[in-house]
Chain A
Amino acid sequence: MAKMIEVAGLDAYYGSHKAIEGISMTIEPRSVTAFIGPSGCGKSTFLRTLNRMHEVIPGARVVGKVRLEDQDLYGADVDPVSVRRTIGMVFQRPNPFPTMSIFDNVAAGLRLNGRYSRSELEGIVEESLKGANLWNEVKDRLNKPGAGLSGGQQQRLCIARAIAVRPQVLLMDEPCSALDPISTLAIEDLIAQLKQDYTIVIVTHNMQQAARVSDKTAFFNLAAQGQPGRLIEMDDTSKIFTNPAEKATEDYITGRFG
């Protein structure tokens, strides 16, 4: 189920502005990779290039290669829609569909993509909600609107929605930054479980979180405002936090800047 991602020489642009430059890395399957770095350094942009979500913004484009196992995601004949079906995403702000019930929210990705019988859908929805640790809280009100849940529950609903389509990789863009510590803990526990089955990439501003949940950590930085962001270093999380190779990384994680 989980697959490896290889990135080589990737640049991303917003119009004529180059947001990130020359990024190459390997993301291991069945592991959690965390992206850290100051605001505006392009971690979210880079994350969005991994499932071709970057290009849905008008004027945005990407140069370089992203490979999932052996397939180039930016190949000429690759359908971005099927890339996103394979590489799911959870956003910073919980964004359940306001017109849909809890059940319909989780089933949305399946329903909008193909035909499933009611019983198949019920099975997948239950499995996904259990996978997101939300089943016990919502099993009695699956027909209520998803927007009526608390922020933490909504975010877990979004995770359930993302894993319902059975992706091979799960990208998370600061999934806890809008949540309280208890909900954050719930999501972190969930990430630890999910990495049994998925390749997980998480962007976070919270360095303790990166240290707690991730196996590998990548540090991004930009030389100055208006300059493109770059990957400074990437290594095992324990190494990055105890003995980083680069001075900039050490300054950042010890709180000397950013």
Chain B
Amino acid sequence: MTTQTGIQMRTGIRPISAARRATDRLVRVLVYLAFALAVIPLLSVLWLVVKNGIGRFDIEFLTHSMRNIGARDAGGGAYHAIIGTLEQVLLASLIAVPIGLLTAIYLVEYGEGGRLSRITSFFVDVMTGVPSVVAGLFILAFWILALGMPFSGFAGALALSILMMPVVVRSAEEMLRLVPRELREASYALGVPKWRTIVKVVLPTAFTGIVTGVMLAVARVAGETAPLLLTVFTTDSINDNPFDGPQMGLPLYVFDQAGRPTDTAINRAWTGALTLILIVMLLNLVARLITWWRSPARRR
């Protein structure tokens, strides 16, 4: 102890005090606790879904619809709902991703803080806050009631794309802004026009981040129920044409089955939820693979 104080005297550098050690430990415990609190609901939902859903997760579930399945019958499946969800989400992405990406490119590369870009930015923020039911109601009122179109997977995709668009715009915008100015200037200085610079230099550099953003948007809309209820309606039969007639979607299926009074239906609802989670996870995995395959680190 005497030597320590001796050193302290000479250099003025002090050992870590007991109070600071205690604070460090306390904060550390708090952070871990907060983490645990955040993870508990997530894990418990996952656990419940897997535990209750795994029982009916079989070939029949994945390959059969609910057509001609009586109220008390066992069996039946979600094939029609899986088809519906995949088609609706794919169509919604086909609408929302190009529009969202082009909007982000406009905001970052061409808007330059002008009037139009400020207005666009403001309405993107407004759209982010639109409740999903309202998106569904809008398509119901506009597409189905006013224009007289039928309930269809496409109508659902329109509603979902309204929800996807702002997410895609915001995430793509963030990623494009991360691309350093120097890279754009390097390209301009080679005599490359602005549009080619965006296509060949800016977008590839931001590609990984944009894909992640799109996947988040997809994951968000894949679980939407309310807008689909108003636009896709529901059905127990297989309808693989998303442009005509009611379809099913996995969230709708879960909602529908969970509302029925028999245990077999409740079990189907759990398995539907499990399937939905698996589909979103699979899509994420595919996106990870794409970004890994495209990343420069792979070639190093």
B299 closest partner in A (C-beta):
A145
User: A113 to B190, alpha carbons, bound, how many Å?
Assistant: 9
Asked whether any CB of chain B lies closer than 8 Å to the CB of A32, the reply is no
Which of the candidate stretches B77-85, B193-201, B240-248, B278-286 sits at the interface with the other chain?
Answer: B193-201
* A75 contacts partner chain B, Cβ-Cβ < 8 Å: no
Chain A residue nearest to B113 (CB atoms) is A58
Interface residues of B in 151-187 (CB under 8 A from A): 180, 182-187
Contact with B along A79-111 (1 / 0, CB 8 A): 001111110110101011111010000001100
- Do residues B300 and A145 form an inter-chain contact, with CB atoms below 8 A? yes
Known contacts A82-B191, A85-B190, A112-B192: A95-B183 contact under CB 8 Å? yes
Complex interface bits, A30-56 against B, C-beta within 8 A gives 1, otherwise 0: 000000000000000000000101001
Q: Tell me which residues across on chain B come within 8 A of A86, comparing CB atoms.
A: 191
Given A95-B180, A95-B183, A99-B204, A84 and B300 contact (CB-CB distance below 8 Å): no
Q: Which among A88, A109, A144 is the interface contact of B299 at CB below 8 angstroms?
A: A144
Query: Most chain-A Cβ atoms within 10 A of its Cβ — which of B187, B188, B190, B193?
Result: B190
The residue in B180, B183, B188, B207 that gathers the most chain A C-beta atoms within 10 A of its C-beta is: B188
Are B182 and A91 in touch, CB under 8 angstroms? yes
Q: Is the CB of B296 within 8 A of A99?
A: yes
Task: Give the complex CA separation of A101 and B133 in angstroms.
Answer: 48
Residue of A nearest to B196 (CB): A112
Interface 0/1 of B94-122, CB less than 8 Å to A: 00000000000000000011000000000
Query: How far is the CB of B121 from the nearest CB of chain A, in Å?
Result: 16
Selected contact of A98 from candidates B112, B188, B197, B296, CB within 8 Å: B296
We find that the number of chain A residues with CB closer than 8 angstroms to chain B is 33
Q: Is B275 an interface residue (CB 8 A)?
A: no
User: In the bound complex, what is the Cα–Cα distance between A112 and B205 (angstroms)?
Assistant: 15
**Is A19 at the interface (CB under 8 A from chain B)?**
no
- CB-CB contacts of A141-163 with B at 8 A, as 1s and 0s? 00111011000000000100110
Q: Which residues of B contact A91 (CB under 8 A)?
A: 182, 185-186, 189
Q: How far is the CB of A126 from chain B (nearest CB, A)?
A: 18
* Nearest CB in chain B: distance from A177 CB, A: 14
The answer, yes or no, to whether A187 is at the interface (CB within 8 Å) is no
Q: Are A143 and B192 in contact (CB under 8 A)?
A: no
Indicate whether A97 sits within 8 Å of B299 (C-beta atoms), given known contacts A82-B191, A165-B191: no
Task: From A84, A93, A145, give the contact of B296 (CB < 8 A).
Answer: A145
Distance of A112 Cα from B191 Cα, bound (Å): 9
CB-contact partner of B190 in A58, A98, A112, A144, under 8 A: A112
Q: A98-B205, A99-B205 are in contact. Are A112 and B187 (CB under 8 A)?
A: yes
Residue of B whose beta carbon sits closest to that of A101? B299
Which chain B residues border A93 with CB–CB below 8 Å?
Answer: 182
Cβ of A144 to closest chain B Cβ, rounded Å: 7
Residue pair A97, B300 in contact (C-beta under 8 Å): no
Which of B193, B197, B207 gathers most chain A CB within 10 Å? B193
* Chain A: minimal CB distance from B182 (Å): 4
A98: B residues at CB distance < 8 A: 183, 205, 296
User: Which residue of B has the minimal Cβ distance to A93?
Assistant: B182
A97-B201, A145-B296, A148-B300 given as contacts; is B187 within 8 A of A108 (CB)?
yes
Contact B299 A143 (CB under 8 A): yes
- How far is B200's CA from A186's CA once the two chains are assembled, in angstroms? 31
B190 touches A161 (CB 8 A): yes
Q: B300: which A residues are within 8 A, CB to CB?
A: 144-145, 148
Residues of A close to B200: CB separation below 8 A: 108, 112
What per-residue 1/0 map shows which CB atoms of B195-221 lie under 8 Å from chain A? 011001100110100000000000000
| Supplied contacts A113-B190, A162-B190, 18 more A-B pairs, CB within 8 Å | A53-B185, A53-B188, A58-B113, A81-B188, A84-B190, A84-B191, A88-B190, A89-B189, A91-B182, A95-B182, A95-B186, A99-B205, A99-B207, A108-B192, A109-B190, A109-B192, A113-B191, A162-B189
Provide 20 A-B residue pairs closer than 8 Å at the C-beta atoms, listed in order of the A residue. A58-B113, A81-B193, A84-B189, A88-B190, A89-B189, A91-B182, A91-B185, A91-B186, A91-B189, A99-B201, A99-B204, A99-B296, A108-B187, A108-B200, A112-B196, A112-B197, A113-B192, A113-B196, A145-B296, A145-B299
Top 6 nearest A-B pairs (CB, nearest first) are: A85-B191, A109-B190, A89-B189, A95-B182, A112-B192, A84-B191
Using CB atoms and an 8 Å cutoff, list the residues of chain B in contact with chain A: 112-113, 180, 182-193, 196-197, 200-201, 204-205, 207, 296, 299-300
